[in-house]
């Protein structure tokens, strides 16, 4: 098995790194908050490093899952010069395509492979090793890294050259935003009409209206439960990336811009860390 480094032990990265250990890899982790890396090392009998350089210098593959473009730039800037030639850096952060292309070129100059590989599936997908991973980069580098990513994924697909993974993740978030707004209005309507939300879902959930969001969020929405899941702050970050990309390629994201403003309303209600299904709170504050 491979010698790996994992940089960033957030809600997603922590269990993902654990799956790599379970798959038999030799894993060293680094996290800005060192105590979290120590906790992970104790839980998974893995290794922790005090610096990015120490984590990556002997690794065949370096997996990264941090916060935003600025974080990616900073961590990649520290990691790439310390990585050995012909190793591969895989970035699971949801970031801009511009950021991915910059890191790809920087890595290529250092004779290092780079794959932008944003993930979908939320915390549950990370914990259960059932993430969907959308990748951009060179086909041979992707083929080399794919078996490593399969430790925590149910689906891994190369979408095109560098940046294509991030662009595909933007499509994913556009779809989710629209679905959740529709589901919020549907649940709101059902309750106002005196219907039982769970019974409504049982009736329509096997038909054309079915979606992952309906299967996993309609019941909690009906009960007004939002203290879990993919946070509104994170969704707004992702939608901002999509809106900025649309301004570059000319795509019309009228709906996305509207829903982004709705999420701003939820933030104003104190819902920064509520699940994205909390769009319903705007309708039923």
CA distance 89 to 83: 9
Is 169 one of the annotated active-site residues of the chain? yes
Which one is catalytic: 108, 169, 191, 281?
169
Q: Are strands 47-48 and 113-116 parallel, antiparallel or unpaired?
A: unpaired
Angle at 217 between CA 214 and CA 222, to 5 degrees: 100
The CA–CA distances, whole Å, from 23 to 1, 18, 20, 44, 235 equal 8, 9, 5, 12, 31
Count of CB atoms situated within 10 Å of the CB of 227:
10
Q: Which residue in this structure is represented by tokens 């309708």?
A: 283
Helices 232-249 and 164-192, axial angle in degrees (round to 10): 120
Q: Are 169 and 94 in contact (CB under 8 A)?
A: yes
CA distance 47 to 40: 9
Q: Are 143 and 239 in contact (CB under 8 A)?
A: no
Q: Are 72 and 64 in contact (CB under 8 A)?
A: yes
Q: Round to the nearest angstrom and report the end-to-end CA distance of the chain.
A: 52
- Residues, the chain, total? 285
Residues 6 or more apart whose CB falls under 8 angstroms from that of 80 comprise: 89, 103, 106, 107, 110, 112
Q: Which active-site residues does the annotation give?
A: 169
């Amino acid at each position: 098995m491979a010698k790996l480094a994992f940089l960033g032990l957030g809600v997603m990265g922590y269990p993902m790194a654990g799956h790599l250990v379970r798959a038999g890899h030799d894993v060293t982790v680094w996290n800005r908050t060192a105590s979290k890396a120590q906790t992970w090392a104790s839980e998974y009998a893995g290794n922790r490093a005090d610096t990015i350089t120490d984590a990556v210098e002997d690794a065949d593959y370096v997996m990264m899952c941090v916060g935003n473009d600025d974080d990616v730039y900073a961590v990649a800037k520290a990691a790439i010069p310390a990585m050995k030639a012909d190793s591969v850096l895989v970035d699971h952060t949801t970031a801009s395509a511009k950021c991915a292309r910059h890191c790809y070129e920087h890595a290529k100059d250092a004779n290092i492979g780079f794959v932008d590989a944003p993930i979908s599936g939320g915390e549950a997908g990370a914990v259960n090793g059932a993430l969907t991973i959308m990748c951009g980069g060179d086909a041979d580098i992707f083929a080399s890294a794919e078996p490593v990513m399969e430790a925590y994924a149910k689906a891994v697909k190369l979408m095109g050259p560098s940046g294509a993974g991030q662009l595909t993740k933007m499509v994913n978030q556009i779809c989710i935003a629209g679905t959740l707004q529709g589901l919020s209005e549907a649940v709101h309507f059902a309750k106002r009409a005196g219907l039982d939300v769970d019974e409504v879902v049982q009736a329509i959930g096997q038909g054309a209206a079915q979606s992952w969001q309906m299967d996993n969020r309609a019941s909690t929405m009906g009960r007004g439960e939002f203290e879990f899941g993919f946070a509104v702050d994170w969704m707004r970050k992702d939608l901002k990336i999509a809106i900025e990309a649309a301004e570059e390629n000319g795509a019309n994201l009228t709906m996305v811009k509207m829903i982004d403003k709705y999420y701003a309303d939820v933030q104003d209600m104190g819902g920064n860390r509520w699940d994205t299904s909390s769009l319903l709170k705007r309708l039923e504050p």
